[in-house]
Amino acid sequence: MKKRIAIVGSTGSIGTQALDVVSAHPDQFEVTVLIAGNNVTLLKEQALKFKPDSVVIANEDHYKELNDALFSEGIKVYAGNEAIEQIMSHGDVDIVLTATVGFSGLKPTLAAIEAGKTIALANKETMVVAGDLVTKRARAKGVNILPVDSEHSAIFQSWTGEFDNPLEKIYLTASGGPFRGRTRAEMEKVTRAQALKHPNWDMGAKITIDSASMMNKGLEVIEAYWLFGLKKEQIDVIVHPQSIIHSIIQFHDGSMKAQMGLPDMKLPIQYAMAYPKRLKNDFKRFNFLDYPSLTFEKPDLEVFRNLQLAYDAMDKGGNMACILNASNEVVVDAFLKDKIGFLAMSDAIEKVMSSASFIKNPGLEDYLESDKEARRLTEELIY
């Protein structure tokens, strides 16, 4: 039987690539629900092509335009954030792919867990912001969370079949981004255009800036902590500029396994959606002769302070990672609008982490309020 898919964030980078996977395997998948934030034009095109049962757009101003375009096709149209949460209980959905970027992915993911849906998780911020809450609810509901991030997918793929064997350590690999090897002095005048030129991956603007600042890797460290139930000292980051080894696991006998391949997000997307099957595809294949040397370096935590701030947030626990994430979302948006310098982003995040209200054992409402407070404090620093 075909797996029935709901895609939260269908018009973004991960969402559009997921639909490419669906197109390549029409015998394996069908799209039941498409959800987007604001891109009504692309959402209409996707809905007309894939003929889902329902579509939802977060921006309610686009409801009429979307409904007018799809009503004659028999496609149900909804709008607003509450509708996004409610559609997660759709009876004809097997897997929910959460492909949005940022804090907005938390409540839809929790709603999908509550409805007992398998989660293909591409929204790392969900685990960063409220990993304790999310994992507890998933365990209580017997829901599987399948990682889509390339690094976490690599850990999962390497560990599959050996879950009874404890891990001693994992290594999350990082490309180092466009500024690998630069000094703080050289980073003073980094521009938006320079930061958006990732050497290996084609991603959305927010994730690309996070990669350039290494905040993306910091968020992935926190995500791995919750996804795989590890201790903080079991998670290490190593810079691997070629982005061929996507991450590594080490067992307690010292043996190591890694997942390798060319940088292509369609592979981890397909793996999560088809799990436990591996589907044949026509993706470009890796050739060892094209990469005669694979190199590794230690990350520079003094230049790329965001990675250290993420470790600090993980050590502190409570709502600190939520504060970190909210402040980062604000500074990245400001950097993309040329309102703040590249290095100043870390300065602002650090100040907010030291001034925002700390809650040791937060619940959902605490996370929501912490997110609001951290955003407000960050905006006060910038604007």
Residue stretches of the chain with pLDDT short of 50: none
* DSSP 8-state symbol, 297: B
Residue from 141, 140, 35, 30 nearest 95 by CA: 30
The Cα 100–Cα 11 span in angstroms is 9
Question: Which residues, 6+ apart, have CB-to-CB distance to 341 below 8 Å?
Answer: 188, 190, 335
What gap in Å lies between CA 370 and CA 374, rounded to an integer?
6
DSSP 118-144: EEEE--HHHHHHHHHHHHHHHHHHT--
CATH of domain 3-147: 3.40.50.720
Q: Which fold, 317-383?
A: Rna Polymerase Sigma Factor; Chain: A (1.10.1740)
pLDDT at 288: 95
Q: What is the CA radius of gyration of the chain?
A: 20
Q: How far apart are CA 145 and CA 184, in angstroms?
A: 38
In whole angstroms, what is the distance from residue 173 CA to residue 244 CA?
9
pLDDT at residue 28, rounded to an integer? 97
Residue holding tokens 């500074």? Answer: 331
- pLDDT tens digit sequence for 284-331: 999 999 999 999 999 999 999 999 999 999 999 999 999 999 999 999
- Written in H, E and C, the secondary structure of 328-374 is HHHHHHHHHCCCCCHHHHHHHHHHHHHHCCCCCCCCHHHHHHHHHHH
| The two structure tokens encoding residue 383 | 């604007």
Residue spans of the domains in the chain: they are 3-147, 152-316, 317-383
Residue 225 has a pLDDT of 97
The pLDDT score that the predictor gives to residue 203 is 76
Distance CA 85, CA 366 (A): 19
In 3D, which of 171, 156, 110 has the Cα closest to residue 269?
A: 156
Closest CA to 7 of 135, 102, 124, 112: 112
CA 46 to centroid of chain Cα atoms = 22
Alpha-carbon distance 21 to 42, whole Å?
A: 17
**Residue 101: predicted pLDDT:** 85
